[in-house]
Structure 1
């Protein structure tokens, strides 16, 4: 997926500070889980999400800025498309915030350093499990220091696959593709999961727990960290037609190598 990394040693030296940053932010958000009262309407959901984000951001941004002071900061977690030249922090202060505010444990704090359009370093911390997933381009992917490997499966009929929305308020065409791709995959895969957030499912792909994940989106914050984890764990990361993926791609696919061609065969026909 990515070219070799001539700055591998430099990036590996940054990793400890990034891990400390996502863990510290996660610890602060964890104090707010589970919510004392579940939200009763959309306004309460939105308010709870913003409150969680504010708690995490207050810790995460200064910590990451200290790690890489000259890197830019992407202000909007739902921002899309290619980044300008240089280095950028792409984060999700509470990835899976909708789960958190409903008392569901699938959420994390994520940070990725993107250099010249490609992620070179990523850390994903799951406060409720205590696990931290890391990757450096050219240095592999790890969970708490243990090397990650994607699934060895080669037949889609034995595969656990997944997709999901990138954000609320997707347009009708995107919702149609999500629905059509799910219908197309259901008879081909062993089990098809439709869930959020993307990063959780990409961590599962990198860990060999899931075999394929795809999404019709170019929201960077949910994809760049997980894309690097999946690629460094030996996975194949492309768009749904099998073309090279980058942050400007309109859709996304990560899979075990032995299943990539079959996944493309299913998904490339979805319109």
Structure 2
């Protein structure tokens, strides 16, 4: 990947327009195929970690449209799509974030598309497929939901913060997470588990939650949603979780340190994590 690419406002705008257009097209495909019926095509890390034919169809469409419009860009997709970048831009894509929700018909699953340069997200788009609600952000340009600027929720005591979480698919790690979440529950307002990491991060961005913590995330889970959250006034950190996997912690900047200290104290962060 080129390290000398100049990231101009014009380039960011081009990447954003393309990501929005492709996310909308992928969402239409997903809706059509959902209406025709959905079956599990395979499992990945465990029997609960499912993938459907529609996941593959969506990624194939997204990859083809992005690289067709911008030959030479790189691509990293959840369902195995990999292309090295010659242009300096890499697309990081989850074709359906929240596949289990998609399988069951719960209206919380999204197309997530981010454009990175040298590993830094420049543009992020998260489109909730069932509702059509679209979140997007540009580095340094703020975050939006359907055109409305987003800001995180105002400061609140820890006891009045609503926290979103998620659970890894591996049973031993799930058990460790459950024990730690049980210790977190009494000290916050409540806990939710909607089932889509990308949308969870956007919920923090729009002030619908005060914090988010989940272990087992991959770059395609948080690349776009993390940028939306940060551009709305949140802070994110990638750490090592209790199960040894990547842990994402996200909260408004004004309450981040207290939230991080709390999730560390209850045991969600690995004891030997640096710092």
TM-score (norm 1): 0.82
| CA distance in structure 2 between the aligned counterparts of 1:212 and 1:139, rounded to whole angstroms | 22
Q: CA shift at 1:78, angstroms? A: 8.0
Question: Is 1:53–2:55 an aligned residue pair?
Answer: yes
Question: Is 1:180–2:176 an aligned residue pair?
Answer: no
Greater fraction strand: 2
| CA distance in structure 2 between the aligned counterparts of 1:199 and 1:186, rounded to whole angstroms | 22
Question: Is 1:267–2:263 an aligned residue pair?
Answer: yes
Map of 1:204 onto structure 2? 203
Give a deviation string over 1:161-186, Cα, whole Å, max 9, x none.
011135x3x363x3344223312220
Q: CA shift at 1:228, angstroms? A: 0.3
Change (3 A) 1:103 1:185: same
Change (3 A) 1:94 1:62: same
Superposition map of 1:152-163 within 5 A:
152-163=154-165
Q: Is the 2:238–2:247 Cα contact (8 Å) retained in structure 1?
A: yes
Q: How many residues align?
A: 252
* Root mean square deviation of aligned Cα: 3.1
Moved over 6 A (4+): 45-48
Change (3 A) 1:235 1:223: same
Map of 1:64 onto structure 2? 66
Q: Which runs of 5+ in 2 are unaligned?
A: 1-5, 271-275
| CA distance in structure 2 between the aligned counterparts of 1:176 and 1:37, rounded to whole angstroms | 29
Give a deviation string over 1:130-188, Cα, whole Å, max 9, x none.
1111111111111111111111123111111011135x3x363x334422331222011
Deviates more, 1:253-262 or 1:224-233: 253-262
Deviates more, 1:179-188 or 1:66-75: 66-75
SS at match of 1:94: strand
| CA distance in structure 1 between the aligned counterparts of 2:149 and 2:188, rounded to whole angstroms | 27
| CA distance in structure 1 between the aligned counterparts of 2:118 and 2:78, rounded to whole angstroms | 19
Q: Is the 1:150–1:256 Cα contact (8 Å) retained in structure 2?
A: yes
Q: Is the 1:184–1:267 Cα contact (8 Å) retained in structure 2?
A: no
Superposition map of 1:250-265 within 5 A:
250-265=246-261
Q: Which runs of 5+ in 1 are unaligned?
A: 242-248
